[in-house]
Chain A
Amino acid sequence: MTIASTTQQICFAVLSLTLVVGAFGVVLLPNIVYSAFLLGGVFLSVAGLYLLLNASFVAAAQILVYVGAVNVLILFAIMLVNKREDLSAIPGLAVRRLLSALVCAGLFVLLVRVAFTTPWALPGPASIGEEATARIGEHLFSDYLLPFELASVLLLMAMIGAIVLARRDVFASDVITGEPADQGLLEKARTPLLTSKP
């Protein structure tokens, strides 16, 4: 066995281990902040697996999009509503957990079955290494043009939705209190909720 293949196997084992353990941590840890940080670790391990598959552009894009954008946004959302209190007890939590565990286990069994019954062509297609960037670009502008454009439309919709939600002054009246909205001020003082009580 050459040094390169040994290194590759060790890297694969370490990355898979961090991936699986991290993913379990994301789901099982009660502290949501830890879950979010572990999610970043999981994304990084996936990027490492892409690197092992000689897909360096995909790996870098994975880090840029998932770690640098998605995970940071999740962390922002968590930290802006930073509450260090435990969630209130939900009735029938044990049954809910059992049910979701059953669904997940069923999905896992299904995926394992698919993975073992699919006739994989081994060895797979040869990696094109550094040419991958150019090849991905060609695909994005030819046969994958429609999915690419649809994804951008989806992002545009999400962006407009976020702007509408964030900027109350685009509405004629306040969504919550029903009063006519003050067009001049972005952050106007809300009427306190408890004014009617003595």
Chain B
Amino acid sequence: MVNSLDLQASFEATLEGLGLSPGAAHLLWLPLPMVLVLVAAVVGVLVNVWLERKISAAVQQRIGPEYAGALGILQPMADGLKLLFKEDIIPARADGLLFTLGPVLVLVPVILSWLVVPFGQTMLISNVGIGIFLWIALSSIQPIGLLMSGYASNNKYSLLGGLRAAAQSISYEIPLALAVLAIVMMSNSLSTVDIVNQQTGAGILSWNIWRQPVGFVIFWICALAECERLPFDLPEAEEELVAGYQTEYAGMKFALFYLGSYINLVLSALLVSVLYLGGWSFPIPVEWLAGWLGQPLDAAPVQVITASLGIVMTVLKAYLLVFFAILLRWTVPRVRIDQLLDLGWKFLLPIALVNLLVTAGLKLAFPGVFGG
């Protein structure tokens, strides 16, 4: 697909038309997508928090927040402001430096991973060749931040919570990576854009979820475990345990954990939609639609419409998955730590390996359908 909206080229062409050098135009372009994606991530979290409160309330037949703005839509802002104004407490005899660095190390890799989330053919910060592998590598930094904050709190519950969280994160990373590997094998590329392009062609029928149903379930379970969502929220388990590695945290440092976990949830949902649900593609290919309407695909208004449709589709699929995650929270009971590790190592890991093997066999047998 060559004929897609290229904002970078048109932006730089406009600036060069104003008399700037190509280097300066490129330098002015560089921060724009980064800031845009950062804002999108934070706004995504605000929407997510509001949805979580409203859907949880609906599940429990409550009303939920309703006074802050229409339908309580400003409630997440109020939550954020409250956390911002709270006192920043570092417990006595805690390790101040590591205590501060821990939440940062949890948050930064999650935000960096947004580098590879595509919203359209050219609508991502950087189409790096190692794409999805970069996300897996970055998410493996997180356990260090968890261990660091657990250790630095000088509290035995925090230390145990940190160890548990890190153990959970490590065990579920392996089936997650194996599920991704099956997808990568089918699309012959690690790049997220190529993975989506491999799923276009026949609209909803060519999405990976039909070719990788087992992989989809494995990936979704592992993504929930990585985000520490119920039924896998053992490290926090707010009703039963003290809050694990977050016990001693207050104010903005706690907000970093909170932000990190919600950004991670949105990111995982986006990546599920990229890997299994066709990313930005519409259930009916836009090429067919444009053909039926008799519109050329490379006309400027059509390009703007298809690009907006792509963004809407990506976000819609992601928030549909977020909705399922929130419903799961009130449907499934929490597992115990031994059940959690059993599920990860003795069930998901063998299934993921078998899935990989079957995918390889199917790829050899039917190269047309499973990517040759």
CB pair A76 B166 closer than 8 Å? yes
CB pair A133 B163 closer than 8 Å? no
CB pair B23 A79 closer than 8 Å? no
Q: 5 smallest A-B Cβ distances: which pairs?
A: A68-B140, A130-B129, A60-B137, A64-B137, A63-B137
CB pair B144 A67 closer than 8 Å? yes
A90 → chain B closest CB, angstroms: 26
CB pair B151 A79 closer than 8 Å? yes
Q: How far is the CA of A56 from the CA of B129 in the complex (A)?
A: 8
Of chain A, the residue at the smallest CB distance from B191 is A130
CB pair A76 B163 closer than 8 Å? yes
Q: How far is the CA of A80 from the CA of B166 in the complex (A)?
A: 13
* Per-position 1/0 for A132-166, Cβ under 8 A of B: 01000000000000000000000000000000000
* Per-position 1/0 for A41-79, Cβ under 8 A of B: 000100000000000110011011001110110011001
B173 interface residue per 8 A CB criterion: yes
Q: How far is the CA of A130 from the CA of B189 in the complex (A)?
A: 10
B170 interface residue per 8 A CB criterion: yes
The answer to whether residues A72 and B147 also contact, given A63-B141, A79-B159, A82-B159 and a CB cut-off of 8 A, is yes
Q: List, sorted by A's number, 25 A–B pairs whose CB atoms are closer than 8 Å.
A: A37-B148, A56-B128, A57-B130, A60-B130, A60-B133, A60-B136, A60-B137, A61-B137, A63-B140, A64-B136, A67-B141, A67-B144, A68-B137, A68-B140, A68-B141, A68-B173, A72-B144, A72-B166, A72-B170, A75-B147, A75-B166, A76-B147, A79-B159, A79-B163, A129-B129
Q: How far is the CA of A37 from the CA of B104 in the complex (A)?
A: 14
Chain B contacts for A79, CB-based, 8 A: 147, 150-151, 159, 162-163
A133 → chain B closest CB, angstroms: 6
For B134, B144, B173, which residue has the most chain A Cβ atoms within 10 angstroms? Answer: B144
Q: How far is the CA of A44 from the CA of B130 in the complex (A)?
A: 17
Q: How far is the CA of A60 from the CA of B180 in the complex (A)?
A: 15
Q: How far is the CA of A44 from the CA of B145 in the complex (A)?
A: 14
- The one of B23, B128, B141, B144 that contacts A75, using a Cβ cutoff of 8 Å: B144
B218 interface residue per 8 A CB criterion: no
Chain B contacts for A40, CB-based, 8 A: 144
For B130, B162, B167, B190, which residue has the most chain A Cβ atoms within 10 angstroms? Answer: B130
Of chain A, the residue at the smallest CB distance from B156 is A82
B358 interface residue per 8 A CB criterion: no
Tally of chain B residues near chain A (CB < 8 A): 27
Chain A contacts for B128, CB-based, 8 A: 56
Extra 10 A-B pairs, beta carbons < 8 Å, given A64-B133, A68-B140, A129-B129: A60-B134, A63-B138, A68-B141, A68-B143, A68-B170, A68-B173, A76-B147, A79-B150, A130-B129, A133-B130
Q: How far is the CA of A76 from the CA of B163 in the complex (A)?
A: 7
Chain B contacts for A114, CB-based, 8 A: none
B50 → chain A closest CB, angstroms: 33
Chain A contacts for B134, CB-based, 8 A: 56, 60
Chain B contacts for A76, CB-based, 8 A: 147, 163, 166-167
B38 interface residue per 8 A CB criterion: no
Of chain A, the residue at the smallest CB distance from B135 is A60
* Per-position 1/0 for A73-102, Cβ under 8 A of B: 001100110100000000000000000000
Q: How far is the CA of A64 from the CA of B225 in the complex (A)?
A: 18
Chain B contacts for A63, CB-based, 8 A: 137-138, 140-141
Q: How far is the CA of A71 from the CA of B166 in the complex (A)?
A: 12
Chain B contacts for A69, CB-based, 8 A: 140, 170
B27 interface residue per 8 A CB criterion: yes
The answer to whether residues A64 and B147 also contact, given A56-B130, A79-B159 and a CB cut-off of 8 A, is no
Q: How far is the CA of A37 from the CA of B162 in the complex (A)?
A: 15
Q: How far is the CA of A37 from the CA of B167 in the complex (A)?
A: 17
Chain B contacts for A3, CB-based, 8 A: 23, 27
B337 interface residue per 8 A CB criterion: no
Of chain B, the residue at the smallest CB distance from A37 is B148
Q: How far is the CA of A71 from the CA of B147 in the complex (A)?
A: 11
A23 interface residue per 8 A CB criterion: no
B118 → chain A closest CB, angstroms: 16
Of chain A, the residue at the smallest CB distance from B148 is A37
Chain B contacts for A67, CB-based, 8 A: 140-141, 144
Chain B contacts for A130, CB-based, 8 A: 129-130
Q: How far is the CA of A63 from the CA of B142 in the complex (A)?
A: 11
Chain A contacts for B137, CB-based, 8 A: 60-61, 63-64, 68
B98 interface residue per 8 A CB criterion: yes
Q: For chain B, residues 65 to 95, give those with C-beta under 8 angstroms from any C-beta of chain A.
A: none
Q: How far is the CA of A129 from the CA of B191 in the complex (A)?
A: 13
Chain B contacts for A127, CB-based, 8 A: none
A88 → chain B closest CB, angstroms: 23
Q: How far is the CA of A47 from the CA of B321 in the complex (A)?
A: 33
Q: How far is the CA of A63 from the CA of B138 in the complex (A)?
A: 7
Of chain A, the residue at the smallest CB distance from B138 is A63
